[in-house]
Amino acid sequence: MPSYKLTYFNGRGLGEVSRLIFAAAGQKFEDVRYERDQFPAHKAEMPLGQMPVLEVDGVKLPQSSAIARYLAKEFHLAGKDNFDQAKVDAVVDTVGDSFKGFIPTIFEQDPVKKEEIKKKFFTDDLPKHLQNLETLGKLYGNGGHFFVGNQLTWADLYFYNFAQTYIEAEADCLNNFPWLKQNRAEVEKQPKIAEYLKQRPKTQF
């Protein structure tokens, strides 16, 4: 049994998808969390000076999506064959596309400008991506509630995580997307996920 150590900030951010995958798999791991002021002292330990980093039996792996996909494959949450795994990747990439538009709303300092770009994101930008995600769910989901092949994959966990950020900024953003709402409800109902969501640290991001 390999030993897993995940190193990230004390927040959800780009590390949470991997934590959700560990939880869904019922897999123990060392969940190292650095506060912002602790990170500089550890930066040089990371292959790219960034987090998250996964350490498997002492070998370090950077890049959040590479980490998440690896863990998903190890724990059979990636899709049943190469093509299903590709469909899962396509869903993940589409969620990723949606998040690119959200990033400026996080970093904008001017409150008036921030509100303006936030409004534009939720009115003009996000709905297109959510529509695309529903399209993929209906195309690949075999009539079920999960994105690919009628079973939970890391695509569902990935969407669950990023959608949480959107909902915290704009509570109604999924109201016109019943398939996506149902998909999130199914994820939350999974016993190991429900347990994890109840216990996990409540953080600002």
Q: Which of helix, strand or coil describes residue 145?
A: coil
> Which run of H or E residues covers position 60?
strand 59-62
Interface pick for another protein out of 44, 82, 109, 175 (rule CB under 8 A): 82
**Residue 132 engages another protein in binding (rule: CB under 8 A):** yes
**Residue 94 engages another protein in binding (rule: CB under 8 A):** yes
**Residue 59 engages another protein in binding (rule: CB under 8 A):** yes
**Residue 70 engages another protein in binding (rule: CB under 8 A):** yes
Q: Which is nearer to another protein, 107 or 191 (CB)?
A: 107
Q: Which of helix, strand or coil describes residue 127?
A: helix
Burial of 158 (0-12, 13-18, 19+ CB in 10 A): buried
**Residue 139 engages another protein in binding (rule: CB under 8 A):** yes
Interface pick for another protein out of 61, 117, 169, 197 (rule CB under 8 A): 61
The token pair that represents 6 in the structure block? 């995940």
State how far the Cα of 59 lies from the Cα of 172, in Å rounded to an integer. Answer: 42
Longest Cα–Cα distance of the chain, Å, equals: 52
- List interacting residues with another protein (CB under 8 A): 47-48, 56, 59, 61-63, 65-67, 69-70, 73-74, 82-83, 85-87, 89-90, 92-94, 132, 135-136, 139
